[in-house]
Amino acid sequence: MELSVIFKSVIDSDSAPVVICNTDHIIIYMNPAAVKRYEKRGGSSLVGRSLLSCHSEESANKIKMILDRFTASPDNNKVYEFYSEKENTDVYMAALRDGSGKLLGYYEKHESRSRETSAPYENIF
């Protein structure tokens, strides 16, 4: 099985929204959770559009600064953006690189602070 199919499956099964952009800030992929989350803003029709057009000028400038940081060094790969009280998540921007360290793009990563409420191995044994 092709590794890219497996990676896509991992991203698509994630319950957190994942929006992947290239270095020109063009949205190249949204997982199903992201399509649902941004449905009122256009959902899957956002693919192919600039991420910057979906943000305020202040946010767009911060995104550009983070991309500059990622470009400056292959060691710069993750930046904490903010805490979302509404969703109880920490939000990060993460670099996407090829095997040689070349920057390919970035994505936004949401990490939940909420403890899992389902029991381990619930309903499978």
For 123, phi then psi, to 5°, come to: 60, 20
pLDDT tens for the 125 residues of the chain, in order: 788 899 999 999 998 899 999 999 999 999 999 999 999 999 999 999 999 998 899 999 999 999 999 999 999 999 999 998 988 999 999 999 999 999 999 999 888 888 888 888 877 76
For residue 10, what are its two tokens?
Answer: 């991992």
Specify the residue for token string 């109880």.
88
Per-residue pLDDT, 121: 81
Per-residue pLDDT, 22: 97
How far apart CA 91 and CA 83 sit, in angstroms, is 6
The answer to whether the CB of 88 falls within 8 A of the CB of 112 is yes
Q: pTM of this prediction?
A: 0.86
Per-residue pLDDT, 54: 86
For the chain, domains (ranges, CATH) are 16-112 (3.30.450.20)
Per-residue pLDDT, 47: 97
How far apart CA 96 and CA 103 sit, in angstroms, is 6
